[in-house]
Every structure is written in C-alpha cells, then in structure tokens.
Amino acid sequence: MNDGQAWLNYRKVSEVSFRKYLTGVYFTDEDDVIRSGLKELIFAIGKMYTVTLPTDCGAADSGIHLRITDRAVLGQEGYHIHAEDHAFVIEGNTSRGILYGIFQLLRRLQAEAVADEINEQKVPDQPLRMLNHWDNMDGSIERGYSGQSFFFQDNEVIVNERTADYARLVASIGINGVVINNVNVKHAATYLITPRYLGQLRKMQQIYASYGIKLFLSLNFAAPIELGGLSTADPLSGEVKTWWQDKLEEVFRELPGFGGFLIKADSEGRPGPFTYGRTHADGANMLAELVEPYGALIIWRCFVYNCQQDWRDRVTDRARAGYDHFKPLDGTFRGNVILQIKNGPMDFQVREPVSPLFGGLTATNQILEVQIAQEYTGQQRHVCYLVPMFKEILGFHTSCAEQNDTVADIVSGKTFGQVNCGMAAVANTGNDPNWTGHDLAAANFYGFGRLSFDTKLSAEEIASEWISLTFGNDPEVKAAVLWILMNSWKVYEHYTSPLGIGWMVNPNHHYGPNVDGYEYDRWGTYHRADHRGIGVDRSSKGTGYSTQYREPHASRFESIETCPEELLLFFHYVEYTYRLSNGKTLIQHIYDTHFEGVEEVDEMVHLWQSLEGKVEPASFENVKSRLSHQQQHSREWRDIVNAYFFRKSGIADELNRPIF
C-alpha cells in the first residue's frame, strides 16, 4: 500500500490459464485512452506473469484483442470481455469502454479467475461518477485526513508524476469526473478561471483525458465582483451575463473538453443569488446557458440552510431546508444543470434518513452526494467502511413511481429518463504515500468508484475484491479484513451516536466526543436532551419535516411506534424509559451499545494482530497503529456519552458496569 500503487500493485498469480493469450496485444484503433489501457495491461501482465507483452496495431488470430465495436447495448462506456477462439477480446464502442474492460479483466485475473470462464458485459449504472475534492490553493484540504493536497501548493497548480498516478487509480474504478478544488471558493481559488492558472490546468486536463476523466472546477459565484470589478453578481444583470460569457469563452478556449463547474451558493457564508432576490434556478440557469455550447455542466449543490439559527427556536429545522428551497423549483432548471443532493438532510452523519428531495423532485437532474472522507465517521483514524451505508441509501424506495423508484434508479436516470445524473463523493485522498492515511480507508475510495459503476454489487463483494487486490488471496487475511470492514460502520455507530441523533462531536474540527458540542450554537444541530429524554420532534406536531416524504414514509416516520428504530431520535423526542422492540429501555440501549462498540473494536484489534507476518510489514504497522488509537478513542466515546446520559437521567445501568 505504501508504494503509492494502492490496489494496482499487481501480485503474481497462481492461476495461469491466461498465459495462452500472452502472445501479444492487438488493436486497430489507437488514441490516448487506448494507450493508457495498453500501458496498464503491459505493466500488470509483467508483474502477474513475468511476461513482457508485445503490441501490434494490426490483426492476429491469437493474443489479447482490443476491439472498437458498434453495439448499441454497450453505450458510450460499456465493455465486453470474453474468450473467443484462440484470443481474449476486450471490446467497447469507445476507447473508454475498452479502458474499463482492461481494468475489469485485471481485477478478475488478480482474483485467480479461470480465463476461459470470464465472459462479462457491463455498462456503467451511473452516467456521472465523480469525486469532489475539498483542496485549497495553499495546499491544505478542508476535512482532509491524508496529508496535504497533491493538486495545489503555495497557491500554484501542481502537475507531476502523482497527477498521472491519481488518474490511473481513479480510472481503474470507473470514475469519469473530478472536481479538484474546494466548494468553498476563496482567495487564489477564485483565479483558477484566469490565465494565471489555465496553462497548468490544461496540462492536468490532458493527463485526465487520457484516462477518460473530465476535469471540473468549483466556481465562485461572486467572481464578477472579485475578478471583474463589477458592483454586482446578480444573475439577471446584463453586464454580469456578458462578463461571464467572455470569461467562460476564455476558459473553454484554453480547456477544450472541460467538464464544467460545481457551485456552492447561498450556503455557510458563500455568495449566491439570494443576495439579489433571485432564485437558485436563476443563478444556475444563467451559467448553464453560457456553458451549454461547450457541452459542459453546471452542478449546483443543494446544501442550503440557515446557519444563523437560534437554538431556542424549536420550529426552524435545518433538516427541512433543502426540500423547502428546491422542491418549489422542480422543473425550472435547464437540462445541463444537475442538483447535487447530500444523502441525508443534515451533513454526512453516521445515520440519517435519506433526503426527501430524492423522490420529491421529478423534473430535475439529480446527483447523489456522499462523503468518503469520514468527517463525522472517524476521520480516517477509525476504520469505517461506508459502502454498506451507501447501499442502504441507494436501495431506499422513495415511492415516487410504481417501479424504478429507488434512489439508485433516480440517480441513474431510470426513473425519469434523465441523462445528466449520477453519484459524487467528497474525496478522502491526500499526498500521504498510501493516499488515504489509514490503509483500510482506501476501501472507501475504491468502494465508491466500483459502486457508482456497478450499483448492483454488494458491499461484501466490493470489500472482497478490494482485499484481494490490496492484500492478496490468503483466506485468513481475507476473512479477518472482511469482518473488520463489514462490521465497522455499525461498530462506529454503536460507540458514538445512538439511534440517528448525531452531532455529538467537538465543534469546528468535528473529531471526538462532545455531547453538547453543538447543542447551543447557530448551526441547527440539536439533540434536545433533558432529564426525561432525548430527540427532536420532526413529526407534523413538531417541525413537520416528516411530512416532506411521500407515503408510506411520511406516516412511518410520523409515529414513534412505526418509525424505524435506527432513526428514532432523529424524528422523535423519546423518554429514557421508553421500551424498544427488543424490550430494552432507551437509556439501557444507549449504555449497552456503547459498551458493545468498544468490545467490537477489541475484536478488530485481535483479528488484525493475528495477521502479523501475513500482511506486508508497513501496512500491518499502519493499520495496527490506527486500530490502537481507535481502541482507546472508542473508550473515550463510551465513557463520555454514557456518563452524560447517566447524569442527565439519573437512571443506573442495569448491569452495574462502570459509568462515571
């Protein structure tokens, strides 16, 4: 892991049936993407089979064939890999399809698949599969836990060998779009759309394009003021539109094939159309009209809420804000605008309901935003494999249609026939040698890409695949790491946040237990605990958030008796003596799960220690150190949370365990 290859550090394989195809690689079409695929194939075969593959831009009866075809079923990015007579064929309608087919073949070979049994055809489930990086021009990363930025340093754009290494990793899991700068666009980042940086960005874009990846930038909505010297950024102003038209013509002239812009507006102090009495549709559509001739997109984040809330106000509810702002605008956005919607209504907590905008919007392009950076789930110091969470989100039935009504259906375009849609993740990479700080955190990076490409894969299938590629196929290693990964999300939930309440962290940096850290602040993130109970009433008798869902969800969330218990405290204020379905009182559930979570971390530590000598020493020590920290920190979480609720409720633990 620490050599920078991550899951592309190909190991020798014992299943050698593929050797009969290693006479050469043959192709009749060639471009930069094909050349990237060839380079990967030759490198991987050399490491797996100790063979140097010859290449030939021509035809042959045997060997490996890269074939551009014309099969409608494969679309623009699909592939078909299969044995054919004496040859092994990787085909696609485009070079991108062939590139993805090459990486899938290499995954299968690393898993010791029998060559002649490989016959797979796949078209990506999500049209846009994107990483959002929150990197700043000074080299820091907002919510970054893996070192510094490898895009920027000292207000300069970096293009070097790591740029290509990153593109290779990203392409290997099917990512086709990358936003390189923070959505909070400030200072030097505002100037990324000026000649000062466009030359370096063009070099970066060329590398990405050779791996089938579109470059995107986050954009400062107030750029006409900050760059152009105008007195306004009103999207309906003629002079503002003219300024943007000239600026964007310059950008696309220097960056042909540029993907477009991600915009955070009217959110957490960022400028936006509200300043001028305009709607978000006004702001997004003005820019979308100007980038449309270039085939580009405007991706508009729905993370808009009042961040100056009074904690005494029990009516205003941050959870309602996204739906309240954007549901009335449904159908008013241009076709090249995509609304980017966080998976839940708050902010990447360990447990939230699915945003009601999914299923609420029926005439607007949508992209699901998740976070693999673990801001609230252990910050890559705790292992927390998030693909099981993503699977639950994608599988949520919104009831917006009689069929194809899941979140996965909506963001794939199946439900409403949209083509500009997909999935995005806030990225978890940095310039640490292993990319993600914690070696096991790379499973989230890998897992998001694979899931966005093939949404039908299970979390366990993805984890098993990543383990094989990263650690090899030793059964003991695979079983231990799989147990750690597959249990880690719920383990983290056990010793941190009970039943969907969230936010019990230290303010600003969001790491470590602080039950009242956000309880009396302006951010709208409350748990409302008192001596009788805990939770926020979001029923129709409270904030009304539950009514934003379609039936039957609105009714399910409305009642304490029918609300899913994992979300109970998100939707309801519940007394400590209330009995859950397992017969335990709420307070006893809080105590028990926090003790259980620590015991489960102890089991993780034990399992990992049993792998000494079976895992590369550097990786073994990396994970051992991180798990040791998690073990200690889980105890801190357990003791602080349990002590808090014991002191609030005055109710003792039935098992008489130490609570302080």
Catalytic residue of the set 347, 352, 405, 493 = 347
Determine how many CB atoms are found less than 10 A away from the CB of residue 607: 18
Task: Check if 268 is active-site.
Answer: yes
- Is the distance from CB of 252 to CB of 205 less than 8 angstroms? no
Long-range pairs for 517-520: beta carbons < 8 A, 24 or more residues apart: 519/311, 520/311
Contact residues for 586 (Cβ-Cβ < 8 A; gap 6+): 499, 533, 534, 574, 575, 576, 577, 578, 579, 580
Task: Pull the structure tokens for residue 504.
Answer: 């019990």
Among 302, 269, 270, smallest CA distance to 284 is for 302
Catalytic residue of the set 266, 317, 369, 375 = 375
- Cα–Cα distance, 484 to 438 (Å, whole number): 14
CA-to-CA separations, 399 to 77, 135, 362, 647, in angstroms, rounded: 30, 37, 12, 42
Catalytic residue of the set 112, 116, 268, 612 = 268
- Is the distance from CB of 345 to CB of 307 less than 8 angstroms? no
Q: Which amino acid is at 313?
A: D
- Is the distance from CB of 411 to CB of 367 less than 8 angstroms? yes
Q: Which amino acid is at 263?
A: I
Which H or E run includes 337? strand 337-342
Task: Check if 15 is active-site.
Answer: no
CA-to-CA separations, 145 to 64, 320, 380, 476, in angstroms, rounded: 41, 30, 6, 29
Residue 27: beta bridge partners?
Answer: 66
- Cα–Cα distance, 243 to 223 (Å, whole number): 10
For residues 96, 101, 102, 106, the Cα torsion angle rounded to the nearest 10 degrees is 150
Residue 338: beta bridge partners?
Answer: 299
- Cα–Cα distance, 480 to 461 (Å, whole number): 15
Determine how many CB atoms are found less than 10 A away from the CB of residue 619: 17
List the end-to-end C-alpha distance of the chain, in Å, as a whole number.
41
Contact residues for 94 (Cβ-Cβ < 8 A; gap 6+): 33, 68, 76, 77
Among 502, 505, 493, 557, smallest CA distance to 527 is for 502
Task: Check if 519 is active-site.
Answer: no
Q: Which amino acid is at 513?
A: P
Determine how many CB atoms are found less than 10 A away from the CB of residue 123: 18
Kindly list the catalytic residues. Answer: 268, 347, 375
